[in-house]
Amino acid sequence: MPAASEEPDALLASRGVDAAPTVDTPTAGPGPAPSAGEEGPPPPPPLTLRDGLPRVTDTDNLLAAAVAALASGAGPIAVDTERASGYRYGQRAYLIQLRREGSGTFLVDPIAVTDLSGLRRVLTGPEWILHAASQDLPCLAELDLRPTRLFDTELAGRLLGMPRVGLGPMVEAVLGRSLAKGHGAADWSRRPLPESWLEYAALDVEPLIELRAELRGRLADAGKLGWAEQEFDAIRDAPPPAPRADPWRRTSGIHRIRSRRGLAIVEHLWWARDRVAREVDTAPGRLVPDASLVAAAAALPRDGRALQALAGFTGRGAARFRREWSAALADAWSVPETDLPSAANRGDGPPPARAWAQRDPVAAARLDRARTALAERAHALGLPVENLLSPDLVRRLMWQPPADPASEEVARALREAGARPWQVELTAELLAAAITGD
């Protein structure tokens, strides 16, 4: 199980808060303010639950009834999950929301029910509709729930060039309904769940079937449906990410630590915090925040007493484990000078793009040409440049291009790196020209 991040994961992106804006797709502005005496356009009507709020499916008998109802329905199944990021260790699903035409909506408590085999069977075969599928699929896979086919409404919006792809803005833009923000970052491990939270959860799947139908039609009209289907298949088939070699290097603020001994302190305290967090099922940042690990690295305390005097190690949660922190600090000081971690994070990829001009001016020029060409092509196609081709893939290819820069060899390199056929077709010649400078 991967370590939980310091901050809640991208839960907010699954609702009305958008993902990071792209440089090629401008976000929509608020529009001109109404003149004095004028009223702005009326707000769209709120999205409501057509079938009312369902009770939580939290017994095996209720789950069997839900499975039977889902099996009797027709068409794709809208799927969403709620986790407890920022509260619990890992990304476990604490609620699964499902909706199908002819079946209704179901809120399944995967903690309370003991046998998900029936649910697994009914979910195998029909297309799943998810918004930002990569956020939900890992926790569903932990329950051995995997899609046969899927449709990602967020990704569909990106391919259509929509300026805002959070669920709320898309429901408003496409369906003309408002979707209130609410409890996405709440502690969904809480029991019983408040009714207002359950309504929020049910509303997450309420519009997905209608939204999918409209977006699919728009993709077909734009000639992008084949692209979308390739992207959906890639998300479905993506393997779990490989464990990071040095996950402690992602500690927020670690860039301020210059001494190698300080880095050793961050490393050992990070691993101690991770072990404790896993044991007590708590988000690591709730025990000791990243800022406190960095502060300890900057202060270079020599013993546990000095460490306990620092902010972040004195609270009720942290103080319970003072022996663990002290032992980790002692281990950090016991590392020989020759074995201390380096300041540079040795990854398997190219250096940061900002360093290319000094390290390899020829590669820097290749990258500039590639970025310009791809940005122009993405703009012409009406989609974000990062969806046309992964920026990491572009950097890797421009840092170490094929020995033969012919477009056929570039296409082969793109395919081997995981680019989809539609991406290869639209970018191989552009990148070959960027490599040669033609």
Same domain, 125 and 169: yes
Give the domain-ending residue among 296, 312, 339. 339
What integer pLDDT is reported at residue 4 of this predicted model?
40
What integer pLDDT is reported at residue 39 of this predicted model?
73
Residue 19: give its domain's CATH number: 3.30.420.10
Same domain, 257 and 219: no
In a domain, 345, yes or no: no
Same domain, 368 and 253: no
What integer pLDDT is reported at residue 20 of this predicted model?
36
What integer pLDDT is reported at residue 347 of this predicted model?
64
Give the domain-ending residue among 237, 268, 294. 237
Distance CA 258, CA 430 (A): 41
Same domain, 20 and 95: yes
Token pair recorded at residue 222: 């734009």
Same domain, 43 and 189: yes
Distance CA 345, CA 322 (A): 29
In a domain, 33, yes or no: no
Same domain, 162 and 261: no
Q: Which of 177, 287, 160, 293 is nearest to 228 (CA)?
A: 160
Distance CA 93, CA 130 (A): 15
Residues 6+ apart with CB under 8 A from 99: 77, 78, 105, 106, 205, 206, 208, 209
In a domain, 3, yes or no: no
In a domain, 4, yes or no: no
What integer pLDDT is reported at residue 320 of this predicted model?
92
In a domain, 150, yes or no: yes
Same domain, 416 and 293: no
In a domain, 242, yes or no: no
For residue 316, give Cα distances in angstroms to 96, 142, 266, 288: 33, 32, 21, 10
Domain region containing 422: 353-436
CA 144 to the chain's CA centroid: 20
Distance CA 146, CA 124 (A): 7
In a domain, 260, yes or no: yes
What integer pLDDT is reported at residue 3 of this predicted model?
40
What integer pLDDT is reported at residue 94 of this predicted model?
98
Same domain, 99 and 180: yes
Q: Which of 120, 123, 122, 109 is nearest to 57 (CA)?
A: 109
Same domain, 261 and 160: no
Token pair recorded at residue 239: 């393997």
Per-10-residue mean pLDDT, the chain, length 438: 38 37 38 58 93 97 98 98 96 98 98 96 98 97 98 98 97 95 88 96 98 98 98 96 92 96 98 97 95 97 94 84 97 97 79 93 97 98 98 96 94 97 98 94
For residue 235, give Cα distances in angstroms to 128, 147, 239, 318, 406: 12, 10, 9, 38, 29
Give the domain-ending residue among 237, 262, 297. 237
Residues 6+ apart with CB under 8 A from 195: 53
Distance CA 79, CA 150 (A): 10
Residue 363: give its domain's CATH number: 1.10.150.80
DSSP secondary structure letters along 21-60: PPSSSPPP---PPPPTT--PPPPPPBP--TT-PPPEE-SH
Q: Find the helix or strand (DSSP H, E) in which 64 lies.
A: helix 60-72
Same domain, 315 and 372: no
First to last CA, the chain: 47
Q: For residues 168 and 181, is the Cβ–Cβ distance under 8 A?
A: yes
* Domain count within the chain: 3
Same domain, 89 and 63: yes
Token pair recorded at residue 168: 């709320």
Same domain, 368 and 309: no
In a domain, 175, yes or no: yes
- For residue 390, the SS3 value is coil
Distance CA 236, CA 230 (A): 10
